[in-house]
Structure 1
Amino acid sequence: MRAPWLSAPVMLALALALAEPSQLRAAPVAEDPRDVRLKELSERVADLEKALQGVNAQLEAATRAADLARGDLKGLQDRVTGLEAGRGPTPAAAGPQPAASPAPVRATPATPSTPAEDGLTRGRKQLQSGDAQGAEATLTAWLAASPQDPKAGEGAYLRGRARGQQAAWADAAADYITALKGWPSTWWAPDAVVELARALGRIGKTSESCQALGELAARYPTAPEGTRKRAAAVAAQSQCGT
């Protein structure tokens, strides 16, 4: 029998005080599926960027080694050229020759100057005409002279294409990684992702190649159909999803 002095509010407070903690614990709030998907995507992007950083470090080391090799080769060529020049016939001594009369100077009409074509435009034209080696040289000089140019990313992308056409896949991958920093929203960016995946696959980085292709749809959902078809071909070459 309940004591008459225990009122209803007092009884409620007593019941709450004696209740098990598990009885008072609020039910967990279900996490929004969209937040879960966004979190998973962010983690995949972070994993890909970390992997590409590692690949980039390896490519930089390979590039430095190639530069050293090229430097050694150039030194050897210079020495050979010097030896060949030393074997040449020594010109016979000749007596003093009379000084030639200066030719009359004729005035020539001034030629109007035209604005010089920048290296990016010239390199793009060379690449389109099939001169991959010339395009690489032109774009390398332009990038060295214009590292802060807003179109430096496009220059790196075009040089990557030029190097890829010469099967210099490691150098090409390094250029594509440079071009894609920050995932730019440019006309060439989707193609750069596919070409990066191709270059990574050619140097045996098939896992990173597949990760790059996985970002194409997420980063560039409106990529042209031709780009998506080439991405599928690269995925088959890298055996993604098998």
Structure 2
Amino acid sequence: MRSGRLRLLGAAAAIGLIAAPFATALAQTPMDDPLDARDAKRLDRMENVVRELRDIVFKGQKTGVPVVVEPADTDSRLADVATKVGDLEQSLTKLNGSLETTSHDLDQAKRENTALRAQVKALSDRLAADEQKMDDAVKAAASAAVVPAGPPEPPPPPDPKAAAASANDAFGKARQKMLSGDYDAAETAFSDYVTTYPDTPKTPEARYWWGKTLAVRGDYVKAASAFIGSIRGWPQTAWAPDAVVELGRALVQLKKPADACGTLSELKRRYPKAPPAVEARAATVRLQAKCT
């Protein structure tokens, strides 16, 4: 409390020191010499300051709270405001530069797009002109062509004997390639035979040997198809029982054991006199398929 009173007394003394010069100045100023407008405003501001100091001191006397007069920070705040304004101006300058660059790029892109459209149109016109020239040339050639007097004569019918001889020759060459161990060439030859001669007496056997070459190469999908075509109708030939066994083996390789067992079950019924070697191979395939 004592410290507060001392501070209040000090503040009162400060007010007295501040007010004394104003009183002296007023006493020395002649009354008939009026102040100009600027001096009057300064005097008013000083009087306002004195009144505020007195209010502060009297308030401190009543409450006993120490009076603390903080220095004004107007200059620092103005400096901060000036700095922020400067930063804002720099940001606006950069933004304007970016907008100008974007506008320039956009204008350049528009010009390039216009030029590209012109090039595309020119190419389209050239293409249309070339197509028209081609159409005109085709029409001119068609009109200049000689129209035959009548329909062309049909080709003479093929000679059955010549066709059979050609088929037998093709089959013999394909068989010889297989016997010599050239399975790639044999596969191509038998495939060509089946395509060229689909209905000859040798076609089922050609399918059988074709399936053999495919099985050697590991193409069990095509091999199974070839073997099925060869035994269609269950032909009574020397190679037919082996074709049934080969079909069962291909089905085992294709992970179809049930189909393999069903195929092998027809072997004894369709070919009860199959050679022992064929029966032995069929037994091996049954084991592989786990037939019951």
TM-score by length of 1: 0.51
Runs of 5+ unmatched residues, structure 2:
1-164
Matching residue of 1:196: 247
Matching residue of 2:281: 230
Please tell me the residue identity of whatever aligns with 1:174: S
Matching residue of 2:229: 178
Please tell me the residue identity of whatever aligns with 1:128: L
**Residue 118 of structure 1, aligned match among 166, 169, 172:** 169
Matching residue of 1:59: none
The answer to whether 1:161 aligns with 2:212 is yes
Q: How far apart in 1 are the matches of 2:225 and 2:182?
A: 21
Please tell me the residue identity of whatever aligns with 2:214: R
Please tell me the residue identity of whatever aligns with 2:191: T
Per the TM alignment, residue 201 of structure 1 is displaced from its structure 2 partner at its CA by: 0.6
**Pairs within 5 Å for 1:90-105:** none
Per the TM alignment, residue 131 of structure 1 is displaced from its structure 2 partner at its CA by: 1.2
The answer to whether 1:208 aligns with 2:263 is no
How many percent identity over aligned positions? 38
Q: How far apart in 2 are the matches of 1:169 and 1:155?
A: 17
Q: How far apart in 2 are the matches of 1:190 and 1:210?
A: 15
Deviations 1:106-139 (A, max 9, x none): xxxxxxxxx8772211111211221111111001
Please tell me the residue identity of whatever aligns with 2:193: W
Q: How far apart in 2 are the matches of 1:229 and 1:132?
A: 25
Deviations 1:174-195 (A, max 9, x none): 0000011111001110000000
Partner secondary structure for residue 118 of structure 1: helix
Per the TM alignment, residue 218 of structure 1 is displaced from its structure 2 partner at its CA by: 0.4
Which one has a larger percent helix, Structure 1 or Structure 2? 2
Partner secondary structure for residue 119 of structure 1: helix
Partner secondary structure for residue 236 of structure 2: coil
Partner secondary structure for residue 130 of structure 1: coil
Q: How far apart in 2 are the matches of 1:222 and 1:150?
A: 23
Per the TM alignment, residue 148 of structure 1 is displaced from its structure 2 partner at its CA by: 1.1
Q: How far apart in 2 are the matches of 1:162 and 1:119?
A: 16
The answer to whether 1:137 aligns with 2:188 is yes
Please tell me the residue identity of whatever aligns with 1:222: K
Q: How far apart in 2 are the matches of 1:123 and 1:165?
A: 16
Please tell me the residue identity of whatever aligns with 1:194: V
Q: How far apart in 1 are the matches of 2:179 and 2:279?
A: 22
Please tell me the residue identity of whatever aligns with 1:162: T
**Pairs within 5 Å for 1:20-99:** none
Per the TM alignment, residue 157 of structure 1 is displaced from its structure 2 partner at its CA by: 0.4
Larger RCO (CA within 8 A; separation ≥ 6): 1
Q: How far apart in 2 are the matches of 1:206 and 1:119?
A: 36
Q: How far apart in 2 are the matches of 1:238 and 1:211?
A: 10
Partner secondary structure for residue 273 of structure 2: coil
Please tell me the residue identity of whatever aligns with 2:185: G
Q: Which has the larger radius of gyration?
A: 2
Superposition RMSD in Å: 1.3
Per the TM alignment, residue 141 of structure 1 is displaced from its structure 2 partner at its CA by: 1.0
Aligned length: 127
Deviations 1:34-54 (A, max 9, x none): xxxxxxxxxxxxxxxxxxxxx
The answer to whether 1:218 aligns with 2:260 is no
Q: How far apart in 1 are the matches of 2:282 and 2:267?
A: 8
Matching residue of 2:13: none
Q: How far apart in 1 are the matches of 2:176 and 2:285?
A: 26
Q: How far apart in 1 are the matches of 2:251 and 2:260?
A: 5
Per the TM alignment, residue 231 of structure 1 is displaced from its structure 2 partner at its CA by: 0.3
Matching residue of 1:90: none
